[in-house]
Amino acid sequence: MSFASEVREGLGERPRRLPPHWFYDELGSRLFDAICLLPWYRITRVEQRLLARAARAMSQTAPGPGLVAELGPGNGEKLALFLGGLAGRGGVDGSRRVLLVDISPEALSAATARLAKAGIVEVTALRGPYEKGLARIARERPPGGSPLVLFLGSNIGNFEPARASRFLKDVRSALKAGDRFLLGADLVKPEKDLLLAYDDPLGVSAAFNLNVLARMNRELEANFDLATFTHRVVWNAPQRCIEMHLVSRRAQRVRIRGARLDLLLRKGESIFTEASYKYDPADLRAQVEAAGFATRRRFLDRPAAYALTLYEAVEEPGP
C-alpha cells in the first residue's frame, strides 16, 4: 500500500496510528543511523558483536549458504560485517548471492552501496514488503545451496505477537527443511533502560519520531506544525512493548491533502507511531519453534539483554 493510503487509513482509526515502516525516508534513515550511535540505544552495537561471533561459528560448519537474504537491511552495515566474518580469513566472497528486501528505496541503495564497498556485488535489491521477499526466496532457490534468512535489529519487535507468529510461519513456509534463519531479538530489561533507549537525552529519537510528520508535509502536502507535537514513550508492561506516540499539545486541525484527509485532533490526543515488543527468552524460543524451526545456536549478550539466535527449518511447518 502507498504512503497516502496507509496514512489515510491509520490516521482515520481510533486510536490514531501510523505504520512504523514510513519512518525511513532519507532523513529518517539517517536519524535511525544516528540512534544506533547513541550510548542509550545498544541494539545495533551489541548485535554487531554477536553477528561477528555467529559468522565465525557458522563458517566452521560447511556448507555455506547459497543465498543470504536479509529482510529490512537498513544501511547494510551489519550484513557486510556478517558476510565478511562468514568468508573467514580468505576475505569476502564476492560471488556470494545476496537478496535485500526493504520497503525503503533509501535503505536499499545505502545497503547495496555498502555491500559493493565490501566487494559483494551479486546483490538483488527488492523493494516491497517482506512477503514479497519471502516469495522470491521460495521461487529462486539456489541450485544445490540452501538459503539463510536474516531478520536482525529486533525488527520483529514491530510486530504484535500474533503478527510475529504469522510472520515466522511465513518465513518457514518460504524455506525447506535444513534452511537457516538468523533472528535478532531485544529482550525485556529494566524499564529505565528501555525509556532511555527510545527517549534519549539528545532528542534524536524525538526527531526520528517527529520526522514522520515532516515527511507527510513534504510528500503529502500536509501542514503539520511540528512544534505542536510531543514525542512520548511509554513502557506497556502487560504487553511487554515500548510504545512511541506523537501527542498533540493542543486541539487542532491538520490537512493532509495528498491523503485527502482532514485530521481533527483533541488536545492530548496521540498518534501511535511504533510498538517495539521486547521478548522473554523462553517465549521467543517457544514461538519460533512453534513456527517449524529448531534452535541451533544462541548468541546472547546478557548485560544488554539481546539475543541473536540461529534456527534451522524442520519438517512439518506449523499451519
Q: How far is the CB of 49 from ligand AVJ (least distance, A)?
A: 17
Q: How many residues does the chain have?
A: 319
CA distance 232 to 224: 17
How far is Cα of residue 92 from the mean position of the Cα atoms in its chain?
Answer: 25
Residues 181 and 69: their CA atoms lie apart, in Å, by: 10
| β-bridge partners, 287 | none
Under 8 Å between Cβ of 296 and 261:
no
Contacting positions for ligand AVJ (CB under 6 A): 35, 43, 153-155, 157-158, 198, 205, 208, 274, 276
3-state DSSP call for residue 49?
Answer: helix
**Residue 296 in 3-state DSSP?**
strand
Residue closer to ligand AVJ by CB (options 154, 270) is 154
Q: How far is the CB of 244 from ligand AVJ (least distance, A)?
A: 6
Name the minimum Å distance from CB 145 to ligand AVJ.
Answer: 29
CB atoms within 10 A of CB 191: 12
Q: How far is the CB of 158 from ligand AVJ (least distance, A)?
A: 5
Of the pair 33, 93, the CB lying nearest ligand AVJ is at 33
DSSP type of residue 94: T
Q: How far is the CB of 211 from ligand AVJ (least distance, A)?
A: 11
Q: Can you tell me the distance from the alpha carbon of 239 to that of 255, in angstroms, rounded to the nearest whole number? A: 33
Q: Are 207 and 31 in contact (CB under 8 A)?
A: yes
Q: Which is nearer to ligand AVJ, 69 or 185 (CB)?
A: 185
Please give the Cα distance from 317 to 194 (Å, whole number): 34
Angle, vertex CA 182, rays to CA 180 and CA 188, nearest 5: 145
Nearer to ligand AVJ, 87 or 304 (CB): 304
* DSSP state, residue 158: G
Q: Which is nearer to ligand AVJ, 157 or 258 (CB)?
A: 157
Residue nearest ligand AVJ (C-beta atom): 276
Which C-beta is closer to ligand AVJ: that of 116 or that of 196? 196
* Shortest distance, position 276 Cβ to ligand AVJ, whole Å: 3
Nearer Cβ to ligand AVJ (30/141)? 30
- 149, 113 contact by CB (below 8 A): no
Measured from the CB of residue 152, what is the shortest distance to ligand AVJ in angstroms?
Answer: 9
Task: Quote the DSSP letter at residue 143.
Answer: T
